[in-house]
Amino acid sequence: SGKLYVVGTPIGNLGDFSPRALETLQNCSFIAAEDTRVTLKLLNRFEIKKPLVSYYEHNIRERGQEILARILAGEDCAVVTDAGMPCISDPGEDLVRLCAENGVETVVVPGPSAAVSALAVSGLPTARFSFEGFLSVKRTSRMEHLEAVREDPRTLIFYEAPHKLVSTLADMLEAFGDRRIALARELTKVHEEVRRTTLAGAAAHYAENPPRGEFVLIVEGAPPKKTEPPDFREAVELTLELAAQ
C-alpha cells in the first residue's frame, strides 16, 4: 500500500512553502486538492507536474473511497487545501480517518496554520487555548456557540470572513461582555496587521473602516470566577462568646 501525506501549504507568503512540502508533492503519485485551480497555480509556480483530483466538502464521500482505493493499490497521495494545514477548518479529516481505518500509513508534512500563527502574535495568553473555527451563519447557532464558550478561561480562536466580522463582533460583545481581542489580518501577506484592542474597540473601529482580507480573531478567555470567601464571622463570634462564658 502507498501512504497518505497531509501537506501544509502557505497561508499567503510563498516563502513559507517548505522544501519538504515541495519534495513531497514532487514525489507523490497524485495530489488530492480542495480547489484544483488554486493548487495548480502553486504547482506551476514551483514547476511541479502532478495529476490532481478534487477533494472538497461536497465530494468527500465518493472521492475519499476512490483515493483510498488508489492508495491501497500502491499509489502515494498528498492531500492539500487552498491555504494552510489540511483538516483545520478544511477538508482532510475524513480522508485521514478513512486511511487510518484501513491500515494506510499517514505522514504529516507540517506547514503554517492561520490559527496558531495568529495566536502566536496575539499577545494574549497562549498556554491554554481553544480553537473554535468558523461560527455558523445562522444567528441562533452562533449565539449558542458563543454562550457555550462564555465561561471558558482559555484563549479562544475563531476564523471569520470579512463581510461577517462586524456582526460577529457585536454578537461576541453581547455574549461575552467586553474583553480583549487581537484581530490578525492577512498574515504573511503585504497587508499583514495585528490589531490588539477590546471587543467594543474593534466593533467601533470596523463600523468605521469596512474590514478587508482574511481574519483570525483571538479572544481573551473568561476572567477567573470570583468565589465568595467563606464567611467565618458568625463562627468566630460564637467561639468568642463561648470562650467568655
Are the C-beta atoms of residues 37 and 80 closer than 8 Å to each other? no
Per CB under 6 A, which region of 124-132, 142-150, 153-161, 197-205 contacts ligand SAM?
153-161
Name the residue nearer to ligand SAM (CB basis): 116 or 143.
116
Gap between the Cα atoms of 93 and 134, Å rounded: 16
Cell 501537506 sits at which residue?
Answer: 7
Rule CB under 6 A: is residue 166 a binding residue for ligand SAM?
no
Are the C-beta atoms of residues 83 and 17 closer than 8 Å to each other? no
In the complex, minimum distance from the CB of residue 134 to ligand SAM, in angstroms, rounded to a whole number: 7
Pairing of strands 155-160, 52-54: unpaired
62-121 residues near ligand SAM, rule: CB under 6 A: 81, 83-85, 88-90, 113-114
Name the residue nearer to ligand SAM (CB basis): 173 or 218.
218
In the complex, minimum distance from the CB of residue 128 to ligand SAM, in angstroms, rounded to a whole number: 20
Residue whose Cβ sits closest to ligand SAM:
84
Rule CB under 6 A: is residue 216 a binding residue for ligand SAM?
yes
Beta strands in 68-221 (DSSP E): 77-80, 105-109, 129-134, 155-160, 180-185, 193-198, 215-219
Gap between the Cα atoms of 237 and 180, Å rounded: 44
Q: Which one-letter amino acid corresponds to residue 182?
A: A
Q: How many residues contact ligand SAM, by CB under 6 A?
A: 23
Helix/strand/coil for 233: helix
2-21 residues near ligand SAM, rule: CB under 6 A: 11-12
In the complex, minimum distance from the CB of residue 26 to ligand SAM, in angstroms, rounded to a whole number: 22
